[in-house]
Amino acid sequence: MLNEKSKIAILGGGSWATAIAKIALVNSSEVNWYMRRQEQIDEFIRLSKNPSYLTGVKFDTDRINFTSNINHVVATSDILILATPSPFLKQHLKKLRRKLDKKIIVSAIKGIVPDENMIVSDYFEAFYNVPKDNIAVLAGPCHAEEVALERLSYLTIGCSSREKARMLAQRFSTSFIKTSISDDMLGIEYSSVMKNIYSIAAGICHGLKYGDNFQAVLISNAIQEINRFCNAINPLHRDINEPAYLGDLLVTAYSKFSRNRLFGTMIGKGYSVKTAQIEMEMIAEGYYATKCIHEINEKYRVSMPIVDAIYEILYNRCSPTLEIRKLTEKLK
C-alpha cells in the first residue's frame, strides 16, 4: 500500500539520481540509495557529496542508507526510483533475485531498453510481472543541474492509477519542484525518449552553423513528429503542448546543460560518433534512442524525417552536412 511512510529508494549514481535524492529528502526523513560501485559510496560518505556528479550539493549522509547490493535495496524499499542510463539497466538488474511485483516502480530513465526496443514501463511489466498500476514515470523539463541549484522546476508523474500518481506527486512536491499528474504514461515516456533524438538534431544543426530561425522550425517540426508517433503507438486525447512533452523537448534542445545537444554539436563540428562519445564521458541517451525508435517505426511507418536523418548520420555514417541539407527540404 502506497502512503506517505512508504520507503523510497534511488537506483543510480549519476547527476539525475543525485538530483532526485535531493528532492526526495525534502519530504522523507531518510532514503535508501543503491550505487553499483562501493568505492563511489565510500567517497560519497567521506565527502558528504557525490564525488563525480553535482559536486556542489551537500548531503546529510546520516539520512541516506547506501548499498551496493541491489537485492538489499529492493527488500528494504517500497518505491524504487530508477535513474540509471537505459543501456546499463539490464546490467544492474542481472544480480536481482527479489520479486518486484509488489513494488512501486518509478522510471526516471528517459531512454529505451536496448535489444528489446522497449520503454522501461513495458519492460518491467513484461519481464518482471509488475502490474501497470504499480509503474510510474517521472517526466518534464527538469535538468539535474538546475534542481541542484533549487531553481524552480516542473515534474509530471505519469501513472495509470491516478491515486498513486497523486501520492507520488505529494512526495516529490517541494518549494522548488511543482508537480502535476497524468494518465498518459506511454505518451510521456515515448516523448521523453524521443526528445533526446531531437536534441542531438539541434546540436548537429548548431555545429553546422544553422541559426536560431532554422532551430525554431526544426523544433516546431520535432513536436509534430512526437505527436504523430505517440498517436500511432497509443491513440489518446493529449495536449502535446504540455510541459511533459513540449516543455521537456524545448529545454533538452536548447539548454547548455543538455548532453544530447552537446553530443550533436560535436558531430556537427566534424567529430566522428565514436570520438564524440569518448570525449563526452557521459551517456547521450539519444544515440541509443535513435536506433530503437527507428526500428519500432518500421512497424508503424509514421512520417518522421528528423529521426530518419539522425539515424542516417549516427548509424550509416552519412554526412551531417548533406543529411541536414536534405532535411531542410522536408520541413515545413
Q: Which of the residues are catalytic? A: 195
Q: What are phi and psi of 105, to 5 degrees?
A: -100, 120
| Spatial CB neighbours of 22, under 8 Å, sequence gap ≥ 6 | 57, 59, 147, 148
Nearest residue to 19 via CA among 138, 190, 189: 138
Q: What angle do CA 228, 231, 237 make, to 5 degrees?
A: 120
User: What gap in Å lies between CA 289 and CA 235, rounded to an integer?
Assistant: 21
Q: How far apart are the first and last CA of the chain?
A: 50
- What secondary structure letter does DSSP report for 6? P
- What secondary structure letter does DSSP report for 139? E
Unique residue bearing C-alpha cell 553535482: 54
The length of the chain is 332
User: What gap in Å lies between CA 6 and CA 137, rounded to an integer?
Assistant: 17
Q: Which helix (H) or strand (E) holds 137?
A: strand 135-139
| Residue 81 identity | I
User: What gap in Å lies between CA 75 and CA 7, rounded to an integer?
Assistant: 11
- 100-123 burial, b for 16+ CB within 10 Å, e for fewer? beebbbbbbbbbbbbeeebbbbbb
| Spatial CB neighbours of 109, under 8 Å, sequence gap ≥ 6 | 82, 83, 84, 85, 86, 89, 120
Q: Which helix (H) or strand (E) holds 293?
A: helix 285-300
